[in-house]
Amino acid sequence: MEINEEPKNGSCSINPSNGTMFTLFTINCSNWFDRDEIKDFTFYGLTYFLSHKIYFCVFKTGWIETPSNPMILAHTINSIISLRLPGSIDPTTQFYTIVHIRDKFDCIREVHLSPVTVLADISAIEHFVDILQYSNDDPIWKVLISNDQNTVGQMITSISQIFTEMNYQMIEKVAQSTK
């Protein structure tokens, strides 16, 4: 009997270290080796809101501060990918990317990348919400009509993340005004 080993000897990096929701971030996962061959790469993202602390109770370890649930950003057979990451209206928010490198027998190596800062383009969001119809000069519509499911999914995820963050801010304002 033989035990399948996870992919090894490679590295992954993300560039640039900051940008906006329209910035193409390049993730390069190079030099990965597995005698069973590398099957694919799956990219996940976590947003950590410094101003919106979320606490979960972990069995027998007490309360911990934790980031939001991971979201799938992309899945590919390519070791280098460029993608848009969800933006935040809070410049202190960190975005973390996790890469799963999988061999053909589904053994996975998980790699955590350095956090990046991704800011929302609030004027683009407001413009998009105001018109909610196609416009040649609207940057969000340009991405949404790109016919690339990964790109469209990334933009929808970013918009959703921003609306969630705006909702948290409204809740905080209401809570503070009732004190």
Encode pLDDT of 116-144 as tens digits. Answer: 999 988 888 777 766 666 566 778 777 87
Instruction: Name the pTM for this structure.
Output: 0.69
Q: How far is CA 14 from the centre of its chain?
A: 12
**Token digits of residue 21:** 């929701």
Q: Rounded to 5 degrees, what angle do the CA atoms 136, 140, 146 make?
A: 75
User: What is the CB neighbour count within 10 angstroms for residue 124?
Assistant: 19
Domains of the chain: residue spans and CATH? 11-177 (2.60.40.10)
Asked if residues 33 and 7 have their Cβ atoms less than 8 Å apart, the reply is: yes
CA distance 4 to 34: 10
Asked if residues 4 and 71 have their Cβ atoms less than 8 Å apart, the reply is: no
| Those residues with Cβ within 8 angstroms of residue 146's Cβ, 6 or more apart along the chain or in another chain | 152
Encode pLDDT of 38-54 as tens digits. Answer: 999 999 888 765 544 44
